[in-house]
């Protein structure tokens, strides 16, 4: 199933993409796409619904974040061998965990706003895991039982804040609009192998990232298991899993940073595409 949320910010309706490409309203079937809806029994309710009988929503409506009321927005850093190489960083021996503010979450086609005092804004196409069942001290062999599905995430970053302002990476990751997710939450039954998905990102039509989840250092099951050793994971929590090479900071001979007026397009095989206009902060 491809689940989404449609409507104005703060007033999104739960929806599903039907086989014919139409968007069908799940209002009345589930409260929203998040929380208990993502439990196995919640997804079963949607799967057992006659989608063709549901009202059709306009394809012209805004698509919101594909998961509502995200509790934790967790990120794995330097998780692609080829990306680690382009940054000059050693291959991590264990997953690097940092957090992205949930207030950074926006819809897949909403504007990305460069924050005040930014110097080095950058892009990162990432596969995001959506948790579907509470996970606590989960073994890797059982980790996939706790996954509801996947979505596209642009882990927008400000590298000056991230690496040159002291402390942890979080301050370069959490600005408003730095977490577009969607367009869809694709349930795991529709993703045969999350470790074999093509992914790409373009800025103003130029392709900078053209990679695959094949080059992940720590795969989806390992990531879920590992994170669950340090914090419980709840339905609707999101874990982004790192990015392939081609980020702005890695461009040679000179890095390329996002500028107001840029347009980012990105996507992952089977999970849909995003388009974001980059704008300057305005009070």
Calculate mean pLDDT across residues 132-140: 98
**What is residue 88's predicted lDDT score, i.e. its pLDDT?**
77
**What is residue 169's predicted lDDT score, i.e. its pLDDT?**
84
> Which range has the worst mean pLDDT, 79-93, 115-129, 132-146?
79-93
What are the pLDDT digits (tens) for 211-250? 999 999 999 999 999 999 999 999 999 999 999 999 999 9
Please state, in angstroms and as integers, the Cα–Cα distance from residue 22 to each residue in 2, 33, 52, 65, 270, following that order: 11, 18, 10, 18, 17
Please, which residues have CB within 8 angstroms of residue 52's CB and are 6 or more apart in sequence? 18, 24
| Architecture of the domain spanning 73-280 | Alpha-Beta Complex (3.90)
**What is residue 73's predicted lDDT score, i.e. its pLDDT?**
98
**What is residue 87's predicted lDDT score, i.e. its pLDDT?**
75
**What is residue 168's predicted lDDT score, i.e. its pLDDT?**
82
Measured from the Cβ of residue 36, the count of other Cβ atoms closer than 10 Å reads: 12
Q: 188 vs 81, which has greater pLDDT?
A: 188
pTM tops 0.85, yes or no: yes
Question: Domain ranges in the chain?
Answer: 2-57, 73-280
Cα gap 219→125, rounded to integer Å: 16
On the question of pLDDT at 125 being above 90, the answer is yes
């Amino acid at each position: 199933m491809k689940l989404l949320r449609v409507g104005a910010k703060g007033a999104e309706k739960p929806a599903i993409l039907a086989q014919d490409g139409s968007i069908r309203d799940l209002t009345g079937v589930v409260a929203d796409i998040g929380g208990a809806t993502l439990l196995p029994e919640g997804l079963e309710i949607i799967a057992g619904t006659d989608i063709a009988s549901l009202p059709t929503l306009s394809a012209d409506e805004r698509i919101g974040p594909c998961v509502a009321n995200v509790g934790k927005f967790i990120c794995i850093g330097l998780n692609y061998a080829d990306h680690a190489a382009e940054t000059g960083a050693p291959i991590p021996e264990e997953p690097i965990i940092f957090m992205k503010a949930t207030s950074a979450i926006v819809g897949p086609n909403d504007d990305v706003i460069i924050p005040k005092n930014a110097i080095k804004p950058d892009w990162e196409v990432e596969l995001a895991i959506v948790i579907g069942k509470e996970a606590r001290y989960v073994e890797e062999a059982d980790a996939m039982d706790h996954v509801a599905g996947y979505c596209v995430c642009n882990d927008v970053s400000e590298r000056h804040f991230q690496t040159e302002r002291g402390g942890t990476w979080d301050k370069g990751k959490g600005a408003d609009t730095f977490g577009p997710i969607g367009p869809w939450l694709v349930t795991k039954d529709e993703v045969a192998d999350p470790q074999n998905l093509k992914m790409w990102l373009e800025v103003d039509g130029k392709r900078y990232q053209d990679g695959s989840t094949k080059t992940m250092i720590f795969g989806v099951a390992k990531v879920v298991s590992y994170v669950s050793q340090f914090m419980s994971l709840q339905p609707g929590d999101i874990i982004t899993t790192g990015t392939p090479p081609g980020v702005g900071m890695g461009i040679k001979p000179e890095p390329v940073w996002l500028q107001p007026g840029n347009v980012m397009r990105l996507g992952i095989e089977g999970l849909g595409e995003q388009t974001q206009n980059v704008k300057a902060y305005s009070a």
